[in-house]
Structure 1
């Protein structure tokens, strides 16, 4: 079967490296080596600890880790993650703040399905929670989804978003981060034509490839250099026997991670060398910046083959959204049908994944939207991560997005108060 042996081989290599790290850490930590205080043992122990942790994180879904938030009443309120709409390939979840009245701002945060879990947006969620009721698309790891649950491509993704927006109602503000920006724009246009009363009030697109050719990057150039046949041959494998999705064709998370790291190999190598040396000197900690970042960065998930291949073929190569020719279930989605949803784009001037110009192209596609309902922002000096989770987001972009919501969403009627827990 295509790629099943190579999929299991990658998992075997990962598991072996985790075991080697654990063995080195345990071996070098025996008290007897204190009688021969050679720095080699501390270095070996540190290498083993960092290696074991790194390879173990690759198959563990991170926790959201948002326990409580302060509220205007001066108390800390517990935060519960509730599943509102369970689906095979992804759930709609709510971050319910216990004992807090419903907020006027209701935000659906559309997380990317691009190799990492939705928890990559943890700091984004935490920054919005004090001022908004927050809902998130929590996508599932394809290796854990049985083949009997069927396919999942970009049309299915778009229809998931349509269903989630319908469920949450029209008093909603949608923020799409990175990869889902074009599909979220398409889902909004789909609702504008099929179910206008279910449209959100505002749509904010952050660093997404609406028009990949507007400002080519290494990511878009790669999509141009290889054919679809070459791409399928190089990266698509079948899930191995260890997981529920055995036999499903996927773009494996471990292969995606290798690609991520190769883009900045020198930077990552230096970060791990520095971490090993700090641990060897006894100056490292479990919750330092390195571990907080890499615990999330190394936790990867498989994508269904049809989702990945259709994204490359239709969004990047075919430019269906950029040309306003995207089709869902045989029907063209006309972005020009968006006439009352305020749209804002956010880009980073140093974004090397979705370069400035790619996302703002959405505004030109919204031909039915008056200029007063369009806005854009380019954050000086910000890279891809910074525009939704870094200091640029916290200090500059978040306030702008909330102001945009307030200016265009109007007053939302409060719902029944939450029950204190």
Structure 2
């Protein structure tokens, strides 16, 4: 019922958004003498603010057309190299001829980014991808919005997520470096542990976990505490809703993205209110650069996707309430996941000093679980002065974290391959 009410409210606002858009265009038209007045700019700013906060934001585009290598512009083409009902594996293919001209013939690192399936689209890692394009073959998981997946495609739970990760790693081969950002840390570690126990020849060279909830008992944050305090039935009864028609996934039971977004916003509500107030003032003052930065950030931040009921509830149960992987009792389709089986896959963990989503120690817990992995194949880094998003994006990520990741892949990832 809640989902249907949300959709009806969104549709009811359509004429008001159209009116706001018309007002904004009229106030900014070059022929309108009011456009350059404070009153005109205020009306245009109010109209744009109204439209932006009442809009449903669709899946963002990657908008990565090229990268710069040694002063040469190298064109980028997105290509889907592996696909299933719930995920596409994207490759950011660099133009081969331009690449050779830019830095000669050489084989670059192959990196798989496992994007979060926690409400936002994979494009949240756009800056992360851009950082590594000059010297890496970059692949990323592009998860599907459950609202867009027909019921006929079947269920999708945490076990399916693990199976997808294993299939994609196997597809890319043993020299790939796997990077799990935030939510996919536990299932990615599970997939790699299963590959290690099976002595799978395509197991990766290294694994990196960034701000991941490997063990949420350590330094619990507000989301962790909420998951612990509320009984499992509360999540099932209050947060799961049915996708209404005419969405492709009509009748599918999901955790709606708009509820996840509401949770994100409420964690730092004052900051978001201030950001929108400043956006309004920048528009009135004619500060186009500051206004555009706001648009770019919130066009991404407000674009959210639904999660399937079974995936969301199993994640709540296994990761945040029962801590199954951390306690050594996680199972995949009835088979116990033995993380200690990992012996020749290099491990890097990255945490943010000010992370209010995955607290200090939650990601580091991966080192304790990999009890048979030699110390020389392990590395831990806590980045000072960054929060959760600063772990994988922003200036400090580009200047301090990314170089460490490259060195780790080359040194410890290479050493891991030599041990096989």
Fold match by TM threshold 0.5: yes
The yes-or-no answer on 1:257 pairing with 2:267 is: no
- From 48, 56, 59, the counterpart of 2:57: 59
Quote the Cα distance in structure 1 between the aligned partners of 2:250 and 2:294: 33
The answer as to whether partners of 1:104 and 1:411 remain within 8 angstroms in 2 is: no
The yes-or-no answer on 1:224 pairing with 2:222 is: no
- From 111, 129, 133, the counterpart of 1:129: 133
Quote the Cα distance in structure 1 between the aligned partners of 2:35 and 2:323: 64
Deviation per residue, 1:196-222 (Å, 9 max, x gap) = 211100101101000001111001001
What is the CA distance between 1:286 and its match in structure 2?
A: 8.9
Quote the Cα distance in structure 1 between the aligned partners of 2:2 and 2:34: 50
Quote the Cα distance in structure 1 between the aligned partners of 2:227 and 2:308: 18
- From 239, 242, 245, the counterpart of 1:238: 242
The equivalent of 2:44 in structure 1 is 45
Structure 2 gaps of 5+ residues are 100-104
The equivalent of 2:74 in structure 1 is 77
What is the CA distance between 1:55 and its match in structure 2?
A: 3.6
- Bigger relative contact order (CA 8 A; separation at least 6): 1
- Of stretches 170-179 and 11-20 in structure 1, the one that deviates more from structure 2 is 11-20
* Change in CA separation of 1:21 and 1:251 when aligned onto 2, cut-off 3 Å: farther
* Change in CA separation of 1:334 and 1:412 when aligned onto 2, cut-off 3 Å: closer
Deviation per residue, 1:330-371 (Å, 9 max, x gap) = 111100110100111110111000011100000000012111
Deviation per residue, 1:231-271 (Å, 9 max, x gap) = 12222111111310111111111121111111111111111
The answer as to whether partners of 1:102 and 1:133 remain within 8 angstroms in 2 is: no
The equivalent of 1:276 in structure 2 is 280
Deviation per residue, 1:358-411 (Å, 9 max, x gap) = 000000000121111111011111110001012221111111111111112329
What is the CA distance between 1:20 and its match in structure 2?
A: 5.5
Structure 1 gaps of 5+ residues are 414-421
Helix, strand or coil at the partner of 2:140: strand
The answer as to whether partners of 1:70 and 1:76 remain within 8 angstroms in 2 is: yes
Quote the Cα distance in structure 1 between the aligned partners of 2:184 and 2:36: 54
The equivalent of 1:347 in structure 2 is 351
Quote the Cα distance in structure 2 between the aligned partners of 1:163 and 1:228: 30
The answer as to whether partners of 1:33 and 1:41 remain within 8 angstroms in 2 is: no
Give the alignment of 1:274-353 within 5 angstroms: 274-285=278-289, 288-353=292-357
After superposition, the CA RMSD in angstroms is: 2.3
The answer as to whether partners of 1:6 and 1:237 remain within 8 angstroms in 2 is: no
* Change in CA separation of 1:35 and 1:219 when aligned onto 2, cut-off 3 Å: closer
Give the alignment of 1:83-122 within 5 angstroms: 83-99=80-96, 100=99, 103-122=107-126
What is the CA distance between 1:14 and its match in structure 2?
A: 6.2
* Change in CA separation of 1:24 and 1:310 when aligned onto 2, cut-off 3 Å: farther
The answer as to whether partners of 1:349 and 1:382 remain within 8 angstroms in 2 is: yes
Helix, strand or coil at the partner of 1:213: coil
- Of stretches 233-242 and 98-107 in structure 1, the one that deviates more from structure 2 is 98-107
The yes-or-no answer on 1:151 pairing with 2:149 is: no
- From 177, 181, 200, the counterpart of 2:185: 181
Helix, strand or coil at the partner of 2:84: coil
Deviation per residue, 1:140-196 (Å, 9 max, x gap) = 111110011111111111100000000001011011101111111111001112352
Deviation per residue, 1:268-300 (Å, 9 max, x gap) = 111111111111222225972211111111111
* Change in CA separation of 1:343 and 1:279 when aligned onto 2, cut-off 3 Å: same
- From 178, 192, 197, the counterpart of 2:201: 197
The answer as to whether partners of 1:326 and 1:333 remain within 8 angstroms in 2 is: yes
Helix, strand or coil at the partner of 1:322: helix
Quote the Cα distance in structure 2 between the aligned partners of 1:117 and 1:325: 30
The equivalent of 1:374 in structure 2 is 378
Helix, strand or coil at the partner of 1:214: coil
